Each structure stands twice: as structure tokens, then as C-alpha cells.
Amino acid sequence: MSDQNTTNEADAAGQPAIAQLRVLTQYVKDVSFENPNAPQSLGPTDEQPGISVRVDVGVQRMSDTDYEVALKLGAEAKTKDRTMFLVELDYAGLFRLTNIPEENLEAVLVVECPRQIFPFARRIIADLTRDGGYPPLMIDPIDFVSLYQQRRQQMAQEPAGAGQPN
């Protein structure tokens, strides 16, 4: 309680407001696990399966300070002749951002917010694959900063009006 009063007094005294990121809640929006070749795919195999992982981040503004940030993870395991499993997860958090400078808002939403909820999404993927009869898939930590920078570079390289009908 005293921390809150100290912050309010500092604001009233003309000090810069403290930037805050709060996780209000987090939840599964959508989840899917497919095990199309079970039980044959569950036995020992001579080859290591190839596993591909997809990551995407979506942001939706809910109010002046609240944002839903959805982390979309997908993973598919295949051997040369068949799919072993396919898992997709849309895991979201509702975040309250206060006193974040406008020029930093996008980076906070697509880097820091997904970083906060990733460990929970990772655990869900691991549990789903384990419960599907496979070793738990432990997705490596994701460098959200690099993903953000790559996306910005791609957008900068796209010609103006790309994708617009002629």
C-alpha cells in the first residue's frame, strides 16, 4: 500500500511516472493435438523424426491500457513416410500497460509480453505431446527480439502498396 502512495506522490510532484506491465490473466484460446497414425507411430523407429516449429504473435487492443497478446505455437513431427503428431496452441495473456512511451509500445507488446507467457505455453505443448504418447516436446526458448527485428526488416523491404490490387 505504501509503495502505491509513494508512486502517486512522486507523480503529483512532477516526477516521471513509472512504466508498468501487469499480467491481468492468461488463458488457452485454442488448442489442438492430432495423432493421425497412432498406435503405429508410437513404437520404436529407426529414424529421428523431423520436428518443425512455428511461432506467431498477435496483438489486440482491448482498452486504453489493456491489450490481449496471443502467442500462436505450432509443431509437427514427421518421419519420411508419415506424420507422427501435429500440435497447435493459441495461448493469450491480457496485459495492462501504463506509462509506456508510445515509441516503445510495439516492442513491449510483441517482445516482452510474449516472453512473459511463453513458459506457460511451452509447458502445455510438452504436456500435450507427452499425453499423446511421445516424449515431451520442450520447445527451445524463443528470441522474440530477433523475431521482432526480422519482421520490421521485412516490412521495410516490402514495396509500398505490396499486395494491393492494381
Which of 42, 43, 46, 72 lies closest to 57, judged by CA? 72
What is the reported pLDDT for 44? 76
Tell me the longest C-alpha to C-alpha distance in the chain: 70
Whole-number Cα distances in Å, 42 to 31, 84, 87, 91: 21, 8, 16, 27
pLDDT of 86 higher than 60: yes
Predicted TM-score (pTM) of this structure? 0.79
82 vs 63, residue with greater confidence = 63
